[in-house]
A and B are shown apart, each in its own frame.
Chain A
């Protein structure tokens, strides 16, 4: 179905980010963090959670677009389409609109919805970035070819002057489509040119080989064996298409009656791996050619060997079918799975080990199997996810119980402590101190702010002042009075000097105390509130836990059932493919037996054993 689309378009480049994004809500950045690592599942969950709690006030519109891109990447094109349709009916920029419709078209095509793909293509408009234009053309041409509208496809490709690489793929697809439609002359012109491409890189060489193969076989089908030789001979002997090329070349020579020449490629082919149908066919073709060349005994030998080889092969296929039906092979496929959901762009890159696995290499080239396998993988991820949550829910239940018990134990102690704390008394005292300080400031009562030593000294001086001896009219008394006046003056000066600073310090201390009291008051109210509401909070959590548990169980059951159905579907596809391979082997075996019988008859008629 899908011929060649060489570049995979990653969601990370496609719709979401159009250049540097300024993150203003951390949760949005967190979603991007997972998105850029292609962990679409985690990204979606976080985005949904953040929106649920209104944590993305600055990224509303972008979040919606990002969610669409995420759903797309995760293979949920139905959900994505709904979001895009809503968004694009709004006021998204033409560039964003064009990109998302293009991407939607591609995924719908890959998933086998060609009409929906056409619809999306038609909505792209003119604003698609130049870098995506070639792929868009290719997709459009592909859709036309699949509905048999080759002329329109040819015109579309003819009008467009894209990059050489894209044009090559496009023209190959067109050539093949024309050949399949029986328009061989037109196909030949295109494929012949492609079959002579210069170049050293693997992609170019592969296209060359494919074009030559397509051309050679088309000509063979038209009965033009002579013309078919050239393109078939251009194919690399050790490339992925060499087996088919060797087979075709042999048939071309056989058609021309040159059986000895035909043996050359066929004998080479017969040495290769029997998994390949081309090799299987060569096992018959070789004795056939030998029989034509009257090398009867050799032909008989080869037919016997072919029958044995086919028998062994059929046995291996049977064993593989058994493995698949028993479920073991699919598990092997997924053994190398990293485990986290990589969404729609995951591809099985390498075959697992084992003889049986190699039978399915055909299957892996088909989108049908790949897409079905991705779905199955995704289902297994979902099952693991739900199983993990089921354990967590049990833990939450225990946590809540512990909290409830803890609350019940702490409550009486907290109530007692709250009743003991006389916060109001402290507040009253603080207010009293405020008033006193105001009075001290108003009266400029520096002595009120004296230190203990200063106060004691002042008292002593006052006592001395009152002493009768000081009042005596004596030089010593006068001296004493002078000293006391001096001391008092110094002390007064000291008190004056420190008054402002002390006042300020005390005021600040009182203010800090005031703030601490406010905080205490608030904390107390908070504790009272918490103690009052805790039962309600716990009950709320308990309700949520109680509701989520059954949801997990129900979904897990559905996911498991779906996984079984998908597995059965995969097994069906795989077994069908293998049955087809076995049928071919059986047909070849029958042909070999008939040919052998014919040879024996011929020998008997000629009057001797072969």
Chain B
């Protein structure tokens, strides 16, 4: 009888929920450690901000900096595969997109595709994208544009859009100063 009750008591201690009741000191310890982690994350993020800016300004001074961005604005889903860029006839990047990245682009994210240092004056940009459109149709489209680099950082946005012709994705390029 005693043993039975002891056994029952033991097993009932397991009953209902697999979770142990948390004791106060353990909770306090966790909260203390948690606050410590948050503080460290804060400082590391601030430091990363400063390092990120230093790196950018060191490698790409504003006067020669040109940043190339890619965005997507299509009605039907367009599975982007890759984008390649040529500046003044020389290939500078051939970027392969993961599914995750494509999804982020479709949700409105903008990808910084390439950064370059260019002399003041006229340059030529050629961009080509590959992908699969609706009904698994393969697409390859390109666009060429001349642009002028003056002093100060320049942004060039390449947008894959089907606004002009529905379900026909095309490149639209615009510049930002």
Q: A: which residues have CB within 8 A of B?
A: 1, 3, 12, 17, 20-21, 23, 26, 28-30, 32-37, 41, 44-46, 48-49, 52-53, 74-79, 111-113, 176, 179-180, 213-214, 217-218, 220-221, 244, 247-248, 251, 254-255, 277-278, 281, 284-285, 288, 362, 365-366, 368, 371-372, 375, 378-379, 382, 385-386, 389, 392-393, 396, 399-400, 523, 526, 541, 544-545, 548, 551-552, 555, 558-559, 562, 565-566, 569, 573, 584, 587, 591, 594-595
Contact = CB atoms under 8 A, between A and B. Distances in A.
Contacts of B40: 379, 382, 555, 558-559, 562
A23 B71 contact: yes
B42 to A, nearest CB: 6
A217 B17 CA distance: 11
A78 B35 contact: yes
Contacts of A218: 15-16
Range of interface residues on B (Cβ < 8 Å)? 35 or more
A49 B14 contact: no
Interface of B: 3-4, 6-8, 10-12, 14-22, 26-27, 29-31, 33-38, 40-58, 67, 69, 71, 100-101, 103-105, 107-112, 120, 151, 155, 157, 176
Given A36-B108, A244-B15, 13 more contacts: A21-B108, A23-B110, A29-B71, A29-B108, A32-B109, A33-B112, A36-B104, A76-B38, A111-B31, A389-B51, A555-B40, A559-B40, A569-B33
Pairs of residues from A and B, 3 with the lowest C-beta to C-beta distance, nearest first: A29-B110, A33-B109, A217-B15
B22 to A, nearest CB: 6
B104 A75 contact: no
Contact of B11 (A278, A365, A371): A278
A399 B108 contact: no
A244 B22 contact: no
A327 B20 CA distance: 24
Contacts of A559: 40, 44
A382 B109 contact: no
22 contacts: A17-B108, A26-B69, A32-B107, A36-B108, A37-B101, A37-B104, A45-B49, A45-B52, A74-B41, A75-B41, A76-B41, A112-B22, A112-B30, A112-B31, A180-B16, A248-B15, A278-B11, A288-B4, A368-B30, A385-B44, A555-B43, A587-B10
Contacts of B30: 112, 368, 371-372, 569
Contacts of A17: 107-108
Contacts of B42: 76, 79
Secondary structure call for the B interface: helix
B52 A111 contact: no
Contact of A49 (B11, B53, B67, B101): B53
B161 to A, nearest CB: 13
Contacts of B50: 544, 548, 551
Nearest to A51: B49
Contacts of B103: 36-37
Nearest to B31: A112
A362 B107 CA distance: 38
A366 B19 contact: yes
A217 B55 CA distance: 63
Given A29-B110, A372-B33, A176 B17 contact: yes
A235 B36 CA distance: 44
B26 A573 contact: yes
B3 A288 contact: yes
